[in-house]
Every structure is written in structure tokens, then in C-alpha cells.
Amino acid sequence: MTSIAQQLLRRKPIAREAGDSPLRRTIGLFPLMAIGISCTIGTGIFFIMSQAVPLAGPAVVWSFVIAGIVAGLTALCYAELAGAVPVSGSTYSYAYATLGEGIAMVVGACLLLEYAVSAGAVAVGWSQYVNELIGNLFGLHLPAALSNAPEEGGIVNLPAVILVALCAVLLVRGTKESVVTNAVMVCIKIAVLLFFIAVGMTGWNSDHFADFAPYGIGGIAAGAGVIFFSFVGLDAVSTAGEEAKNPKRNLPLAILLALAVVIVLYVGVALVSVGAQAPAKFDGQEAGLSEILAHVVGSPWPGTVLAAGAVISIFSVTLVTLYGQTRILFAMSRDGMVPPIFGKVNERTRTPVQNTIIVSAVVAVLAGVIPISFLAEMTSIGTLAAFLVVSVGLIILRRREPDLERGFKVPLYPITPLLSIAGCLWIITQLRPVTIFVFAIWVAVFLAFYFFYGRRRSALQPGNVPPGADVPFTSVVRQPGPLERSER
């Protein structure tokens, strides 16, 4: 009979993590990179300026840089772990292999919050641009009751709910179809943002940067905290570990290439946005980038082009975040941590259909009734907690498995992961107390679920381990050798 401490500390052997999967390996390097870009660009840049500029002022540019640096340090850690442990589940699977089952469940809670809430936030932002596009094209606007959350004076955000439903249909049809669609949308969104930068530069006014940091370093950090959820896409690449071709090479490359593209575009858009529009006008602004272009040109057509591009690109973000959420639940279900329904794969489409439907229903409710500002900040803390675990897990895996084959190694080790840990902790301390409190309650609820459900149904629980499979090991129970296992 294993003790609770042993259950919390048991880890999945790396060899087991690399085993066969019912999922099909169909995703090459560019589609993987597109997943990272898609889930990152659009997650925030099309509408997060209205949330971040009131906190940081023109210094929001530095908020993006700080968030990008922390995300970049963590991306290096992700790249190494993704190449060493190429499976579905992302940070959850990395934590299970390095820190133990208890921490893996905490990380699972963070990821489920991060992806579900992020998908909801993005869907709400999509609704804003749909309204802007319809208004520019037809002179009509959706009724406030059907395009806003109850807290914002509406009944339900119907466009956001419809978006989630459309993404669910595409994901159920098959992974290959979804990633091809996503890659096309990524090319469109990059073109749209380059268009924004080119047109927005014509309205540049350096006076907008006069009072550069009105709220000091605290405001810059608070802005970085809100913005950070925009980097969730880096995690999304690693959720495709079991569907990636040549994962030990392609996963690290895709993460690093996606990060480089994202940071350049984010900082460029932030600079041009503040240069073209006075900081005071950002507060409460919807479909902000579209409105900025309309003001600069004095005509609605550039804003219409950008709104159309945003509608397409934000669709791809929701698609990828839903994809990542379902793959994390798939990995957790396979490990016995959540009910088996999340691990069932349709024989024809080779996708977790029931899993996708359930996740989409939950996200649709979030998108329909919760305001975007709260959704964005809750996603940030989930992302930060997951990034923190990745950096800690890298250090532990280096010590425990020094000879493990790695497709990429973090430079300047251990300085890089330590700086990533420090950066994540610093940004977390800048979030609102209510955000941290709600996050703590969510993690506590998920841990309670683990104690009553997951730990007894774990695939590593004695009696649940299939004959001949690797057995779990902990810091207090050593891993039996091959001869000992054969004798048993």
C-alpha cells in the first residue's frame, strides 16, 4: 500500500512517455510553428492594448518587452523539454516526468485554466471585431444584449459562442484539416499586422510618448502581467508532441522560430499603436487596432481590412487553444487523472471527439458571460504558473537524466532557467490579489478532485499498472532494474 506522500511523488519514467500513441503523427515543422504563432499572435495583440495601456501608459512597449523576455527564457526551457519528452500534455507531462504526480496535477489545473479561459477571452475579442466589421460594411451593429457579457450590460456574447462552436466542428473533423486551415490563417494574420504597422506609421506622433511611464515600474509590470497571456501559444506547440513529425528536432525549432516572429510583431504593433493614438484613448476601446487605422487615414476602409483580418486570425487562435486544451485532457485521462471519456479517440478521425465537445461547451459558456478583462488576467496567472514549472522541471531533469537524448539544450544553463523562474515570480506578484485568490481556489478544488478521484485511478497506482510496463518511481522508492522487473 503506497502512502499519500509516495503517491504525490511518483513519476512517470521517460521511456514510458515516448511510447506509441493512438494519435497520428501528421504535423511538420511549419504547421507546428504556425500553431505557436497562431495561438500567440491574436491571443492578445488585437485587443489587449485597451487593457494594458491604461495600466502602463506609453511604457506598455516595455511591458511587451519584459513579457517577451520572460517568455523567451521559458521558451528555451520548453524547447529542451519538448525535444526530450515529445508527448501530448505539454507542461503537465513534463511535470509528471520530473516533479511527480502531485505537482503534475497542480500544473494540469493551471493548464486547464490557461487554455479554457484564454479561448474564452479570445472569443470575446473576436466578437468585438465582428461587430466592427459589420458596422463598417453594412452600417449595422449587433444588439448590445447579444454581444456583451451580463456584467457589461448584455445577456450573452452570441458571436463568441458561435466562434467556439465553429472551431469545435473543425477540430472534430480531424487534426490534419485543422492545422492546414490554421497555417493559412497565420499567413493572413501576419500580413494584416504588417499592414497595420505600415499604415499606422503614417499617423506617428512622438508627443504621445512625452509622459512615457506615468505609473512607474509598477505600471509597466502590471501591464506585463495582463499581456503575458498573449504568450500562451508557446505552450500550445508542445501539446502537439504526439502528433508531430520528427518531434525531437521539430518541436524545439518550432517553439524558438515562433517566439522570434511573435516578439518582433508585438513590439512593432505596440510602438505604432501608441505613436498613432494618444494613450488616454485606449481605455475601454473595442476593436482598438481597427479604430486606430480609421482615425489615422480618416476613412473606414483600412479599419475594415484590419477588422476582416482580425476576424480570420482570431478564429485561428481559438481553434488552437481548444486543440491544446483537448490534448492536455487526453494525456490526463490516459494517466487516470480525469474520467476516461476525455481519452477516447474516434477510430475514423483519430481525434478525441467527446473531449472536444465537452471542452467547447465549457469555453462557450465562459466566452458568453464573462468580461474580457477578468478572462485575460486569469489566463496570465495560469500561463505564468505553467512556465514556472517548466523551468524548474528542466533543472530537475538535467540532474536526474543527464544522458537523456535531447534535440536542443538550453544555453547558459542554469542561469537561463533561474532567470525564467525569477521573471515569472516577479510578474505574478504584480497581478491583482483577487486574481491570485481565485487562482488559489481553483487549484485547491482541482487538488481535492485528485485526492478523491485521480490518485486511486492513476495509471501508476499499484494494481493499475499493466503487466510488463514500467513502474512508477519516487524520491523514496527507487526504480527497479530490468532484472528485478523480469523476476516479478
Tens digit of pLDDT for each residue in 346-391?
777 777 888 888 988 888 887 777 665 556 666 677 778 888 888 8
Across residues 180-195, what is the average pLDDT?
Answer: 82
Q: What is the pLDDT of residue 312?
A: 79
Distance CA 259, CA 153 (A): 37
Instruction: Return the DSSP state at 11.
Output: B
How much is the mean pLDDT over the chain?
77
Across residues 271-295, what is the average pLDDT?
Answer: 81
**Other beta carbons less than 10 A from residue 204's beta carbon:** 13
Asked if the model's pLDDT at residue 96 lies above 70, the reply is: yes
Across residues 146-154, what is the average pLDDT?
Answer: 67
Cis-peptide into 54, omega within 30 deg: no
Amino acid residing at 339: P
**Other beta carbons less than 10 A from residue 75's beta carbon:** 28
Q: What is the pLDDT of residue 89?
A: 60
Asked if the model's pLDDT at residue 111 lies above 70, the reply is: yes
Instruction: Return the DSSP state at 102.
Output: H
The grid coordinates of residue 295 equal 482615425
Report how far apart, in Å, the C-alpha atoms of 304 and of each of 132, 137, 138, 329 are.
8, 7, 11, 38
Amino acid residing at 93: S
Asked if the model's pLDDT at residue 293 lies above 90, the reply is: no
Higher model confidence: residue 53 or residue 247?
53
Which residues have CB under 8 Å from 246's CB, separation 6+? 29
Which residues have CB under 8 Å from 169's CB, separation 6+? none
The grid coordinates of residue 261 equal 516572429
The grid coordinates of residue 465 equal 499498472
Q: What is the pLDDT of residue 478?
A: 39
20-29 pLDDT, tens digit per residue, is 556 667 677 8
Instruction: Return the DSSP state at 431.
Output: S
- Three-state SS at 425: helix
Higher model confidence: residue 261 or residue 148?
261
Per-residue pLDDT band for 60 (boundaries 50, 70, 90) equals confident
Q: What are phi and psi of 360, to 5 degrees?
A: -65, -35
Burial, 147: exposed, middle or buried (Cβ in 10 Å; 0-12, 13-18, 19+)?
A: buried
Per-residue pLDDT band for 418 (boundaries 50, 70, 90) equals very high
Q: What are phi and psi of 239, to 5 degrees?
A: -70, -15
Per-residue pLDDT band for 332 (boundaries 50, 70, 90) equals confident
Give percent of the chain above pLDDT 90. 1
Which residue in the block uniquely carries the three cell numbers 533561474? Answer: 418
**Nearest Cα residue to 110 out of 271, 287, 228, 199:** 228
Burial, 476: exposed, middle or buried (Cβ in 10 Å; 0-12, 13-18, 19+)?
A: exposed
Q: What are phi and psi of 369, to 5 degrees?
A: -130, -5
Q: What is the pLDDT of residue 386?
A: 80
Across residues 178-199, what is the average pLDDT?
Answer: 82
Per-residue pLDDT band for 484 (boundaries 50, 70, 90) equals very low
Q: What is the pLDDT of residue 476?
A: 34
71-87 pLDDT, tens digit per residue, is 788 888 877 887 777 66
Cα 134 versus chain centre, distance: 29
Across residues 327-351, what is the average pLDDT?
Answer: 83
Which range among 169-183, 292-306, 337-351 shows the weakest confidence by mean pLDDT? 169-183
Q: What are phi and psi of 179, to 5 degrees?
A: -75, -35
Higher model confidence: residue 249 or residue 395?
395
200-217 pLDDT, tens digit per residue, is 888 888 888 888 888 888
Give percent of the chain above pLDDT 70. 81
Asked if the model's pLDDT at residue 194 lies above 50, the reply is: yes
Distance CA 136, CA 158 (A): 19
As a three-state string, the secondary structure of 339-398 is CHHHHCCCCCCCCCHHHHHHHHHHHHHHHHHCCHHHHHHHHHHHHHHHHHHHHHHHHHHH
Distance CA 351, CA 108 (A): 20
442-477 pLDDT, tens digit per residue, is 889 888 988 888 888 888 777 665 554 444 444 333
Which residue in the block uniquely carries the three cell numbers 502531485? Answer: 102
Listed as own residue / partner, the contacts of 298-303 with beta carbons closer than 8 Å and 24 or more positions apart are 300/136, 301/136, 302/195, 302/199, 303/132, 303/136
Across residues 284-313, what is the average pLDDT?
Answer: 77
Asked if the model's pLDDT at residue 261 lies above 70, the reply is: yes
Asked if the model's pLDDT at residue 18 lies above 50, the reply is: no
Cα 399 versus chain centre, distance: 28
40-51 pLDDT, tens digit per residue, is 776 567 767 777
- Is the separation of the CB atoms in 36 and 128 below 8 Å? no
